[in-house]
Amino acid sequence: MKKRGESMPEHNVQLYFWDAEQSADWPPTEAQVDSFPTSYATRYREAKAESVRQQACGSAFLLAMHLGVTSDEQLKRGEHGQRSLRGDPRHICLSHSGPVTVLAVSDRPVGVDLERVAEERPHIADRFFPESFRRELDAASESDRPEVFFRLWTRLEAALKRDGRGLTVPRSEFEEIVRRYVITTEQHDDLIWSIATEK
């Protein structure tokens, strides 16, 4: 998969991937964890689930390698938990799926979501999908439904992250929010990711 910078010129976005299963830095040494921003080091050390440790590690490595972020003082957290850079005009967004982390960097606000294709989750579609997404999912063949579901889910999540409010947005606004942005979806093997930026 793409682990270096993957440019998406239609969005003016740079994507960076980190995969714990393919990285020589997993698991990290104690010295490496000590170099993480404190919030990520704490999350790594306190997490019981390996996937959470991998997410903390991936975020810390990508932020350090591509943005020079090594301390919490270089980051800000928004009202709904979204990260941003302190004293840097670039916009960022992080997403995780299992051992894989993606960092999106842009000169404009951006949302990114990454998911690994697995079994369809009807309860999520029932609860969150706007009507247009439900129609597209219902039109898919049985064999295609899992992939279609995760393509739609990443599109919705990326748009909600770009909006900045995430899943706190009232469901009645989801359709409008999805139409508001340019959303591009890509896939590599069983990983699907979507990017949302202004039109």
Domain segments of the chain as ranges: 6-108, 114-198
**What phi and psi, each to the nearest 5 degrees, are found at residue 194?**
-130, 145
Please report, rounded to a whole number, the percentage of residues in the chain having pLDDT higher than 70.
94
CATH superfamily, domain 6-108, is 4'-phosphopantetheinyl transferase domain (3.90.470.20)
- CATH topology of 6-108 equal to that of 114-198? yes
Give the model confidence (pLDDT) of 114-155 as tens digits.
999 999 999 999 999 999 999 999 999 999 999 999 999 999
CB atoms within 10 A of CB 141: 7
pTM above 0.75, yes or no: yes
pLDDT confidence band for 173 (50 / 70 / 90): very high
Phi and psi angles of residue 104, each rounded to the nearest 5 degrees, phi first: -105, 135
CA angle 56, 92, 128 (to 5 degrees): 80
Dihedral angle over CA of 37, 43, 49, 54, nearest 10 = -10
Q: What is the CATH number of domain 114-198?
A: 3.90.470.20
Whole-angstrom distance, CA of residue 159 vs CA of residue 178: 6
